[in-house]
Amino acid sequence: MWQNFSYSQVLPNRFTSAECLAIIDYHTQLPANISRFDRADGEQLRDSYIHWLYHDDNTRWVFERLGEALRDYNAGYGFDVKPWIDSAQLTQYRAGQQYGWHVDIGPREMSLRKISMVVELSDPASHEGGGLEVFNGDCMENRLTMQQGDIACFCSFMQHRARPVTRGERWSLVCWVLGERPLR
């Protein structure tokens, strides 16, 4: 059993194509933020556009679906998490944009992140490059195979990255599931 155990998992077909496009369309109602920053060595770590999506009457269905996926994933891990998600980051990567290797935990409230979730909103045929990699510890295959509407779930302490898009644009929806205390 343990030789096949993985902390990352892809939950297929959680959103339809039409639902993914509806989520992408929310960006027209939300402020856009350019998210660019460098690592300590001066190399670019992140370059993308982000829009914050909050739980309200119009987005309730999105957050309910994310909650279902959370319960399914966490059933196998038992993290002490809050049973709801308040916000999500709608992320757009255009040609040349990416987010290098990083973890989703950090100081203050970021220390409460337990589970990271990434919804693949774009049809893979709409772009080249891109995609999500989660470091699996044995340096073999880190790239997760995802289709439009799939949700990747993984522990927030795991290194991961959004590979550079080389043509077109890639959209994803990212959220973090919090707990009351770190590392439980």
The per-residue pLDDT for range 130-182, each reduced to its tens digit, is 999 998 766 556 778 999 999 999 999 999 999 999 999 999 999 999 999 88
112 in a structural domain:
yes
Q: Give the residue among 101, 99, 98 at the shortest CA–CA distance from 159.
A: 101
Quick check: 31 and 50 in contact, CB under 8 A?
Answer: no
Residue 1 has pLDDT above 60, yes or no: no
Which residues, at least 6 apart from 171, have a Cβ–Cβ distance to it below 8 Å? 20, 23, 24, 90, 91, 92, 93, 121, 122
Q: How many folded domains does the chain comprise?
A: 1
2 in a structural domain:
no
17-50 exposure pattern, b = at least 16 Cβ within 10 A, e = fewer: eebbeebbebbeeeeeeebeeeeeeeeebbbbbb
Note the pLDDT of residue 138.
Answer: 60
88 in a structural domain:
yes
Residue 3 has pLDDT above 70, yes or no: no
The mean pLDDT of the chain is: 92
Amino acid at 160: H
Which residues, at least 6 apart from 137, have a Cβ–Cβ distance to it below 8 Å? none
Residue 128: C-alpha distances to residues 59, 63, 95, 142, 174 (Å): 29, 28, 9, 18, 20
Measured CA to CA, the distance from residue 169 to residue 156 in angstroms comes to 25
Please give the residue range of the domain that contains residue 55: 7-178
Q: Give the residue among 83, 77, 73, 55 at the shortest CA–CA distance from 10.
A: 73
What is the pLDDT averaged over residues 67-85? 93
Quick check: 144 and 132 in contact, CB under 8 A?
Answer: yes
183 in a structural domain:
no
CATH of the domain at 66: 2.60.120.620
184 in a structural domain:
no
